[in-house]
Each structure stands twice: as C-alpha cells, then as structure tokens.
C-alpha cells in the first residue's frame, strides 16, 4: 500500500514538475515562481509526513505461507502451507 502511494506521489510530482518546466515563454525574465515552488515543496513534505505517520496496513484473516517440511531424520519432504489465524 505504501509503495503504491509512494509511486503515485512520485509520478504526480514528476508530471507537475514537467508542466512547470514546459509551460511559459522562453525568455530569461523573472516570473516569480518562488512562492509556487515553495508551496509545492511544503505540500510534498506534509504529504510525506502524513503517509509516514499513518498506521500499519492490517489485513484481517489468516496469513498463510509455504514452508519446507522435513522428516525426523532431516530429509526434505516437500512444501506445505501453514496458516496463522489472528
């Protein structure tokens, strides 16, 4: 979940920064981008803090995994599914 949000945030920032870089005229005059850039960085910091401070993603129900199974002499017998119910 967090990885998906991080990827989405990175994609949004990339698209937004490309729009800032590509829009406007090609002159060397000062256009007062400072406040907009500052607000964008502040919004990114706040969004990152909210994502970082959100609680863990909890899945209700069984958690199953495949584990190796050995006999009493240590011979490998195969894999089996073990589920923990919470």
List, for residues 9-51, the tens digit of each pLDDT value.
Answer: 777 777 777 666 555 566 656 667 677 777 888 888 888 888 7
Nearest Cα to 83, choosing from 66, 60, 59, 58? 66
Select from 63, 16, 62, 76 the least CA-distant residue to 40.
Answer: 16
Instruction: Give per-residue pLDDT as tens, 55-71.
Output: 666 666 677 888 999 99
Residue matched to tokens 């979940």: 1
């Amino acid at each position: 979940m967090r990885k998906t949000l991080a990827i989405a945030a990175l994609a949004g920032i990339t698209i937004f920064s490309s729009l800032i870089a590509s829009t406007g005229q090609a002159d060397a005059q000062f256009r007062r981008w400072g406040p907009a850039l500052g607000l964008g960085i502040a919004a990114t910091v706040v969004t990152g803090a909210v994502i970082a401070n959100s609680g863990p993603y909890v899945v209700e129900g069984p958690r199953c995994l495949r584990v190796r199974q050995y006999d009493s002499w240590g011979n490998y017998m195969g894999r089996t599914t073990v589920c923990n119910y919470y």
